[in-house]
Structure 1
């Protein structure tokens, strides 16, 4: 089965084609460009380039896998809107995968790992994995708060661009790779759904961001 995978939850704009079979996932042509401010301009050309190199047309696709975050609003929305529109136009199912899984499940060493991406505003999106399987829910916090929780979670190493940026504050060894979600790993996370021809899923974004503006409270009485 021919699968298109996209992820725009991080500064890396990713589009790739993969083959999925009972025997596993084979990653084909991929386009990955790191640019935190050009997701909208880069994604569609990246998809077209990956399809062209794979020598397939959009109509040849059997499903679309998209990283659903967590990630900043603008970049993440580009990938999910594009994947949803393509799925509807082609009549193929779409499947969402937590983008952090593309880091945590891609790390090769055994044991507990912190996967973290940059959430801006001096915060990180993070999740903990044990031998590639998630053991916490995705969250957003300041690095110091995450570091405080790592000992009780049994985490001794980390990966991801957020972990690299705040390695000193986190206080655990950080791998150089993977920095960003791995396309093949994202597809593997959706393999069971793809092979079983599961119904298409709405691609609901994981923003996790606390609101910038608080809801106004009740007006205070004016003293006369």
Structure 2
């Protein structure tokens, strides 16, 4: 990619899937082009918190970029399972707060779509990722613009609903992408290229980023127990 204009160093993070993704990119704000300096993707859906900090350190070292040199953070906001997703978002927010740099949240499905669009001529895309509970997260795109979603539903329901929709390529979870009887693309998880591409306009602009909002799309598995109502003294007296 070409370089020219003011140089920015961007930390990109995503934990919306079973893959923990971290990397560093150099972005030229004047012409909105960038270069990935280092990237790590480790698939381990149960150890997001343990892995992420190490991956961030490794990629900063490989890119030869000090934490104090970072100009912004881009973090995937899902959709994704509650526990894994909040690890990446909390880490991104912590880096931004500690370094005093903006943190830009992006839809993780948009990042997968952007990465695929950077390496293919396909005009229409379907992105699907594993939502667990026998469901998938999905979104459709045309000419790089999201046209439906993000949403969550059983795979069979999505297959039926999109049966007549023109879709050139399906990307994301390979297990679920193969259900749609369409060509399957290479992009499977959010990448540094995808994350930074989606945030490119915000990174190059002067407006402060919007607040980070996680895209859970459904209630978390763990919920607080309902509080027991206090006993009614009058009923207790009548029961005696």
Q: Is TM-score (shorter-chain normalized) higher than 0.5?
A: yes
Matched, 1:174 2:189: no
For residues 27 and 150 of structure 1, the distance between their equivalents in structure 2, rounded to whole angstroms, comes to: 34
Alpha-carbon distance between aligned partners in 2 of 1:117 and 1:167, rounded to the nearest angstrom: 8
Whole-angstrom distance in 2 between the partners of 1:112 and 1:13: 27
Structure 1 residue ranges, 4+ long, deviating more than 6 angstroms after superposition: none
Alignment deviations for residues 48-68 of structure 1 (CA, whole Å, 9 cap, x no partner): 111111112111100000000
Instruction: Give the whole-Å Cα distance in 2 for the aligned partners of 1:131 and 1:105.
Output: 10
- Which SS does the other structure have where 1:64 is aligned? strand
User: Bigger CA drift: 59-68 or 20-29?
Assistant: 20-29
Task: State the shift of 1:174 in Å.
Answer: 2.0
- Say which is worse superposed, 72-81 or 178-187, in terms of deviation: 178-187
- The match for 1:10 is 17
Aligned to 1:69, which of 72, 78, 102? 78
The structural deviation recorded for 1:167 is: 4.2
User: What secondary structure sits across from 1:105 in the alignment?
Assistant: helix
Say whether residues 1:192 and 2:204 are aligned partners: no
In the other structure, the counterpart of 2:128 is 116
Aligned residues: 212
- The change in CA–CA distance for 1:130 and 1:194 in structure 2 (over 3 A counts) is same
Note the residue ranges of structure 2 that are not aligned, 5 or more in a row.
1-7, 227-240
Task: Report if the CA contact (8 A) 1:105-1:133 is conserved.
Answer: no
**Counterpart in the other structure of 1:81:** 90
C-alpha root-mean-square deviation of aligned residues, in Å? 1.8
SS in 1 for 2:202: helix
The yes-or-no answer on 1:27 pairing with 2:36 is yes
For 1:76 and 1:97, how far apart are their aligned partners in 2? 12
1:158 corresponds to: 170
| Corresponding residue number in structure 2 for 1:59 | 68
Q: Is the 8 A contact 2:15 2:21 kept in 1?
A: yes
Other-structure match for 2:238 = none
Q: Note if contact 1:14-1:31 (Cα within 8 Å) is conserved in structure 2.
A: yes
Give the alignment's TM-score, normalised by structure 2: 0.83
The equivalent residue for 1:38 is 47
- Cα deviation for residue 32 of structure 1 reads 1.0
User: In 1, Cα distance between the equivalents of 2:52 and 2:164?
Assistant: 39
Q: 1: distance between equivalents of 2:63 and 2:207?
A: 25
TM-score (norm 1): 0.88
Partner residue, 1:206: 215
Indicate if the aligned counterparts of 2:171 and 2:177 stay in contact, CA closer than 8 A.
Answer: no
The CA deviation string for residues 57-89 of structure 1, in whole angstroms up to 9 with x for no partner, is 111100000000000011100000010011011
Larger Cα-atom Rg: 2
Greater CA drift, 144-153 or 32-41: 144-153
Counterparts of 1:47 and 1:167 in 2: how far apart (Å)? 29
Query: Are residues 1:143 and 2:130 paired?
Result: no
* Alignment partners' CA distance in 1, 2:26 and 2:177: 35
